[in-house]
Structure 1
Amino acid sequence: MPAKFRELLGEQFVVTKGFDGCLFVFSEEGWEAFEEKLQALPMDKPEARMLGRFFIAGAIDAEVDKQGRILIPANLLAHAKIEKEAVIAGVGNRAEIWSKAEWEKASTFDDINSIAAKMSEYGLSI
């Protein structure tokens, strides 16, 4: 893990399944805030229970070893299709870990006009 991300996330953090075939990496504080929101969801709703299982059940506490690596279990590597090379991207309040191939697909923005339209749709402007 690059030193820049270690500074932002701390030496210990949480890794869990993310959207679009990546892994989410939260600082301990960021994870606690996110987990609190998940725990507050109404458990009588099947979708709320599913969200808890998706994010919480597979989450692991992780840390960087002396060589700057993170030990990620096989089930999370499989979720992200990581076999050899991985890419770490900072995304607001978290980092994302991608297989190199999946990142190349996810980060290719062929239609800048549709991105601009989505920004407008969400009330974002530059």
Structure 2
Amino acid sequence: MFLGTHAPKLDDKGRVILPAKFRQDLESGIVLTRGQERCIYVFSAVEFQKVHERIRQAPLTSAGARDFLRLFLSGASSESPDSQHRITIPTSLREYAGLERDLTVIGVGDRAEIWATDAWNDYYAAKEADFSSTTEEVIPGIF
């Protein structure tokens, strides 16, 4: 399970070392793709296959489902860590997420997300007050 907040750096070749805590979950391979809110989703290959199976169940007659599937999968890239545990983030994904040197990597349970640090800080500042003052059930049966 991916948990926590980490602050790795992007090197000049577009590579990042993902947190050591995440390595076991990513042994089966890594898939990067466009995330919502302009971050990059990081899935294990196994989890990505599960997500793909769920979204491919959407009817082809749904324009929204077709749009989502196209954008989600056309940005996907299968990556393998090198001997120093670095993965290369493709240029198109770095541009999509506005990634520069300072990154924030967060664990979101079944995936990790890579954010430009400034974008994460802005998102966090905008959403934290809402999170703290939640008075209704957001996730059925949980909170």
Q: TM-score of the superposition, structure 1-length normalised?
A: 0.88
User: Counterparts of 1:80 and 1:92 in 2: how far apart (Å)?
Assistant: 20
Aligned-residue RMSD, C-alpha: 1.5
Change (3 A) 1:90 1:121: closer
**Counterpart Cα distance in 2 of 1:103 and 1:11:** 28
Deviations along 1:45-86, whole A, 9 cap, x unmatched? Answer: 111110111111110001222222210111101111101121
Percent identical pairs in the alignment equals 33
1:96 to 113, 122, 130: 113
In the alignment, does 2:100 pair up with 1:110?
A: no
Pair 1:42-2:55 in alignment: no
User: What is the rounded CA distance, in whole Å, between the counterparts of 2:138 and 2:112 in structure 1?
Assistant: 25
Check the 8 A contact 2:28/2:45 in 1, yes or no: no
Q: Distance in 1 between matches of 2:56 and 2:70?
A: 11
Shift of 1:11: 5.5
State the structure with bigger RCO (CA 8 A, min sep 6), 1 or 2: 2
Q: Are the counterparts in 2 of residues 22 and 99 from structure 1 also a CA contact under 8 Å?
A: yes
- Structure 2 gaps, min length 5: 1-17
Q: Give 4+ residue runs of structure 1 displaced > 3 Å after superposition.
A: none
AA aligned opposite 2:63 = P
What is the identity, as a one-letter code, of the residue corresponding to 2:84? Q
* Aligned residue type for 1:71: T
TM-score with structure 2 setting the length: 0.78
Q: Which has the higher helix share?
A: 1
Match in the other structure for 1:5: 22
Contact 1:11 1:64 in 2 (8 A): no
- Paired positions, count: 122
CA distance in 1, matches of 2:91, 2:112: 19
Tell me if the contact between 1:17 and 1:79 (Cα under 8 Å) persists in the aligned partners: yes
1:66 is aligned, of 83, 86, 90, to 83
